[in-house]
Amino acid sequence: MTGSPSSAHASDLVEGDLLRPMLRVAWPLVLIQLLQVMYNVADTFWLGRLSADAVGALSLAFPIVFLFISVGGGFTAAGAILVAQHTGASAASSGSDREAGRVAGTALGFVMIVATALGALGYVAVEPALALIPADAATATEVVPLAAAYMRVFFLATPFLFGFYAFVALMRGFGDTRAPLRVMVVSVAFNVALDPVLIFGWGPAPALGIEGAAWATFAARAVATVVGWYVLFGTDAGPEIRLGDLVPDPEIVRRIVRLGVPSALEQSGVSLAFVVLTALVATFPPAVVTAYGLGNRLISLVVLPAMGLAQAVNTVVGQNLGAERPDRAWRAVRAALGVVAAVMLPVAILAAAFPVPIVQVFLPPGSPDAAGTIDYAVTYLRVASVMFVFLGVFEVIRGTFRGAGRTTTALALSLVAVWVVRVPATYGAVFVYDFGTTGIWWAVVAGDVVGAIVGLAWLYRGTWTSAVVDPPAGTPADD
């Protein structure tokens, strides 16, 4: 796990050629995102062979779970922003990166406190949260109890989940994305191996059904956190964190909260919108609920290259603004927008041309109650392909604003896409104009298309090109 980037590696992002080091940071992030989704894909793959209702349970559980974890996710994002800008400042001045280490340590300790509280709250809120969903009678009887069983186990794993998220974010801010990739490979391999054993009861293990998928995730996240923290504290990888840095420093916490609250509101606002959207979709029969969840998971796979590139832009923009080089930050953003459009266009064409075999990978035709679900999911994927380029552009734009420390701007853009466009469009399509399931799919497209257009207009105002830390000391500045 050694072989981390040195300060010279960090300076690669603020000096010399730009595209190559940015892509060097990006490709492990793309793979990390792919492996991250593999947790869910593995669950969907094996549970799809258990029953369509089990897959539908994941569709109901995921938005509620994500609503809780997104609150803490904002603070890991804030830690990455501050580490990136301090790292860039120290690279530009040939100074020490101890300030980055102090920020990273406080972020790690603070996030673990938040994660423990959120896990406890989520565990006791499972039934009340699911009770708020106005489910169809069949969905309430067959799917909701399965979702509750999955969620209870999942919330027990919340501290491990955030322990690894914080490790990845802090290493990314420093400019090292390969060490987190190696840890992620180990964790996902563990999860993929355990899933069928615990779901179906292979060998001496009991058949736990959907709870088995959750326990496999628990174990895999625990492994990832233990190995990740060993990398931070037992090797020379990443920022220089000392054990004493884990005790939250009030001044650093204030800066983390200042940047992290908008990020937390962005993520939780989006996830709350997905809870509302899932509640609207739950008024349809189980086949539609399952198709909606399956389609969303396929879209989450499609957007992986854009998410990885957006996170790389986050790091490159943060380090260059910290080094007082806004021209390089602009060049990185323009290059990333071109790359993401070039990548997402052929993906969109492929999804539009071959939706049936793609859907059937995750829900075979022979599975119980699969036929109707496959038809709905195929239509969803074909319609969604229209927005793929816009979706990629939107990811890069928000990554730019986050890297610049303009987390409030990223919050505003996300809320426009989901709350101003997607939620009202879904409600209108379903309950006002009676467009049925087709209206649901097109409402998804409308949200990301409008978000990308508004985001581009805001980006080219150019008001984001200053750092939120002052090199080399790293005191916060006004937005």
Q: Cα separation of 291 and 410, whole Å?
A: 29
Which of 283, 213, 258, 265 lies closest to 44 in space, CA to CA?
A: 213
> Which residues partner with 476 through β-bridges?
469
pLDDT at 476 over 50: no
- Asked, for residue 465, whether it belongs to a domain, the answer is no
- pLDDT, one tens digit per residue, over 161-209 is 898 888 988 888 887 888 889 999 999 888 888 888 998 988 788 888 8
Model pLDDT for residues 437-451, shown as the tens digit of each residue: 888 889 989 999 999
Q: Which domain holds residue 37?
A: 20-459
Q: Is position 470 within any domain?
A: no
Q: 301-327: per-residue pLDDT in tens?
A: 888 889 888 988 888 888 888 778 888
* 203 part of a folded domain: yes
Per-residue pLDDT at 416: 92
Q: Is residue 7 part of a domain?
A: no
Tell me if the pTM is above 0.75: no
Handedness of CA 219, 222, 223, 224 (dihedral sign): positive
Mean pLDDT, residues 137-150 taken together: 82
Angle between helices 326-353 and 19-48 (to 10 degrees): 40
Residue 479 lies in a domain: no
Contact present, 309 and 397 (Cβ < 8 Å): no
Q: In this predicted structure, which of 25-34, 107-116, 416-425 has the lowest mean pLDDT?
A: 25-34
Task: Find the helix packing angle between 250-281 and 286-302, rounded to 10°.
Answer: 140
* pLDDT on residue 135: 65
Check residue 386 and give its pLDDT. Answer: 92
Mean pLDDT of the chain: 82
How far apart CA 295 and CA 301 sit, in angstroms, is 10
* Cβ-Cβ contacts under 8 Å for 107 (sequence gap 6 or more): 75, 76, 78, 79, 82, 83, 166, 169, 170, 252, 256
Residues 81 and 405: their CA atoms lie apart, in Å, by: 6
Does residue 468 lie in a domain region? no
- Core vs surface per residue 157-190: b (16+ CB within 10 A) or e: bbbbbbbbbbbbbbbbbbbbbbbbbebbebbbeb
State residue 294's pLDDT score.
80
Say if 299 falls within a structural domain.
yes
Q: Is residue 100 pLDDT above 60, yes or no?
A: yes
Percent of the chain topping pLDDT 70:
89
Residue 160 lies in a domain: yes
What total of structural domains would you count in the chain?
Answer: 1
pLDDT in tens, 237-274: 777 788 888 888 888 888 888 888 888 888 778 878 87
Res 467: pLDDT = 60
Q: How confident is the model at residue 141 (pLDDT cuts 50, 70, 90)?
A: confident
Question: Residue 14's pLDDT is what?
Answer: 65
